[in-house]
Structures are given as C-alpha cells and as structure tokens.
Amino acid sequence: MKRNPLWKEPLRWLNSPMIFGPTNPPMLAVQLIKPIAAAAAEVERSELVHVTPTNQIVERLLAKGRVPFRTPCWSADGHHLAYVANFAAEPYLVVADADGTHPRPLASLPVQISGRNRVWRRVIIEKPFGMNEDSARTLNREVQASFDESQIYRIDHYLGKESVQNLMVFRFANTVLEPLWNRNFIDHVQITVAESIGIEYRAGYYEQAGALRDMIQSHLMQVMALVAMEPPVELGAGAVRDEKLKVLRAIRPFAPEDIARHTVRAQYGPGRIGDELVPAYRQEEGVAEDSDVETFAAVRFHIDNWRWQGVPFLLRTGKRLPGRFSEIAIRFRRPPQNLFNRDAPELAVNDMVFRLQPDEGMSLSMNAKQPGLTTRLRPLIMDAPYAMAGSSMPEAYETLLHDVILGEAEMFSRADEVEASWRIVDPILTAWGESGRNIPHYPAGSPLVPGADELMAGCEGGWRPLS
C-alpha cells in the first residue's frame, strides 16, 4: 500500500481542533497518532489500522454512560476517526474512515461548535515517542508548538491496566504496606512482560525498535516509576508526574563499563511453542537475514535515593518465551535467622505479585507449617483476583480514553518524563549498536536466555519462572 500524499504534510495540521465537547449537539472526535520513523516507502495495511478502532472504544464508553456525552456525533458526513499508525520520518496527524481507509488531514473535518459551550481539544500520542532522547525532544517541541502540555496525552496502555492503577491504591490507601516498602525489607523488584508470540506482522516496526525501545523504555519504566515513587501531595496529574520524574532522575546512569554487566539482549532462534514449530526471528517475513535486533531485553536498574538505595529493579521482556504474562513481583528479604533449619534448611522467599495479565490480581507467598508432628514448612499463597464474579473490567485503552475525555492526565507521560527515560536507555542502545551483530540467541519456547541469570547476582531467590 503506497503512502497517501497527504502523509508528507508537516505538523501544521495540529492547529486544527481535534477533540471537542460538549457541544449542541454533542460532538466527540478522538484522534490517536503513532509517530514512528520508517525507512520503507510502503507498509502493509494491517500495520496502519489498530485492531480496535478508537471510535469503537469511545462508543463502548458512551453505551456504559461513563462519559458526559449523550451520543457520538463524529462529523456531518458520517466519517469516523480511527487509529492510524504513522510510519513517516516526521510526525503528523490524520483522520480516516471507520475502516482506516482514505487518510486525510484533520482540517478536512467540518467543525460545528456552539459559542455558548466550553470547547477543548486534546491530542493522544501513542508510543514510541521518539527513537532516542534527541528525537523525543524534537517531537516534544513540534507538538508543544501547537498545543499546551495540558492538552497532550502521551498514552501508554500498560498504565490503563487495572492492576497497575491498583498499585497506587494498595500503596497509599493501606498503612500495612508503607513500613515494608523500602530497602530495609525489600530485596529486589522484578517487572516482567513475557510473550509467547513472535513479531506477527510488525517486522517493519520491530526491526527499528527492538525489545528495549518497544517495551522497557516505555511500559516497564513507567510501571517501575509507579512502584518506586513517593506519595504525591494529591492525585492531580502534576503531583503524580512530579513524583515519577523524581524516580527517573534518581536512576543511576549507566557507565560504558557497566552495560555488559547490567543489561542482557538476545534474539529468539527456531524452536517450539506448545506443539508448534516456529521459525527464528531472522526467518520471519520482513526481517533481515543478519538482523541484530533484540527480541529479549533485561536491564538491572538502581535507584539512588533514600528509600531504594541498594535495591535492584530488574526489568525483562521478550518474545517467543514459554508463557504469556505480565507481572510486578516485590521480593522481600529473608528473615535474619532461620529458626526452623532442622526441617527447612532454606526458607522460601516471600513474593508480593501484582498480575497485570492474564487473570489480573495480586498474591502474597508466605511460609507456613505443614500439618503434622514436625516443623516442616510449605509455601502458602494468598491470592486475590481483582474481577468479581459476574463483573468485567474495562480494557486499558477504554480506561485511558475515558481519562482523556474527562481531562485526567495522571496516567499519561509528561514531556520531561519521556526525555528522562530516553536519557537513561540511550547509553544502552549506543553500546548495543557498537557491539556488532554477534547477538546471543535463545531457542523459541525456552526460558534459558544467555546471560539472564548473571543479571540476578546478589539477589535472593533468582528469577521467577517464565511460564
């Protein structure tokens, strides 16, 4: 599919209103953009249109009565807005028909606004926001030339997951956790996003991004900031973002000599997922035969502040792994003395796990006595699912679009947050780029990734299982 000539237009389209409300009749127009640099002149249609168009999500919100609008009124000619990915070298905004066809400038939409009603416009920008710190800073300047920061919503769907949003509630609405949430009781933190699928149809994007850009710089570092942040003075967007930014600024910079010890990259080779034989990454359609793009990335971060000094934060993500799950695991220190060493030479570690997907919820593992006449111990897992019987949880995008419509920006990244996260990972990207094409490989479907165990040096209990 060749590019529409409109896609070469600059960012001046941003001067067009994009989200209005409320009007009479109510008018709601939501636009997401995805700024990505791409070398290819042609892209597949499937890479341009999101599987769940924005208008469908908003219609669900309207049907559930969760937004202050009566009916969706997209435009006079019946065109809907859909999610359209941007693979041009420069960011731009387009609208499209409901099926993603006929992309055109936002200025082509008729505008119907009553002067008696409050009018607002907001832009939602998908990740990746830039490809490094310099490009993110440039993109911020471009967008801020047409929008105030309060109108810009850099969306990260992981922050819309119920389990992630519950983190702040568990931490700041319960006194039982706060005394434990520090270097005195926590040994380390593991944040994992594991996928059993490959790159699917995303070779054009993934060949430029890789696992570090795709997942760690955005999703996982944002989640890490929520885990590590101090209590905000209020739940307003400014206060929450300020605390997240403090975490990012406290992360120890990577010296060139530390990157080999504190980071791991690898690429999946051929293997088996369940009963299916799957090809290596380099054998996927659209992937270079000598590609050195990582499909697995793990990074050991240190936050140099009073609360977290000496507590490693280990972030890992990968494709073609044994299982599909996302979780945050808080691993506590072992007791200073084992009183039960006669029957239990080594005590099992205590993990508090927040499951992001699937089966959202939390669990706490503890040691308990086995029934009987001895003091043998066994692990006891207390599990608390989030969903109640007969209820359903909203999708992450549904939650975040709801927040955009209401003007609540707590779960969206601010410009300085994005630039700070890129500043942290840029040295890793540079070092990996200079290391040549001798990237380690792991068999698809295997949990054994070269170098991953060494990243856990000095941490209690090792990695949690990948299946």
DSSP 188-256: EEEEEEE-SS--TT-HHHHHHHHHIIIIIIIIIHHHHHHHHPPPPSSSSHHHHHHHHHHHHHHBPP--H
Name the residue among 248, 220, 251, 247 with its Cα closest to residue 231: 247
d(CA 415, CA 317): 25
The CA dihedral of 364, 368, 370, 376, to the nearest 10 degrees, is: 120
Say if residues 367 and 380 touch (Cβ distance below 8 Å). yes
Phi, psi at residue 58, to the nearest 5°? -65, -35
The closest alpha carbon to 355, from 329, 337, 332, belongs to: 329
Question: Which candidate, 183, 199, 222, 351, places its Cα nearest to that of 279?
Answer: 199
Residue 45: exposed, middle, or buried by beta-carbon count in 10 A (0-12, 13-18, 19+)? exposed
* Residue 286 CA to its chain's centroid (Å): 25
Q: How far is C-alpha 114 from the chain's CA centre?
A: 38
Which CA distances in Å does 392 have to 61, 360, 386, 387?
14, 11, 10, 7
Classify 325 as helix, strand or coil.
strand
DSSP state of 317: E
To the query of whether residue 50 is one of the catalytic residues in this protein, the response is no
* Closest residue by Cα to residue 463 from 190, 185, 187: 190
Which among 271, 286, 260, 284 has a CA at the least distance from the CA of 451?
Answer: 260
The residue annotated as part of the active site, out of 219, 262, 402, 441, is 219
Comparing CA positions, the residue from 246, 245, 262 lying closest to residue 305 is: 246
CA dihedral of residues 293, 53, 240, 179 (deg, nearest 10): -70
Decide: 377 and 348 in contact? Cβ < 8 Å.
yes
d(CA 54, CA 31): 7
The two tokens of residue 195 are: 């996928």
Residues annotated as catalytic are: 219
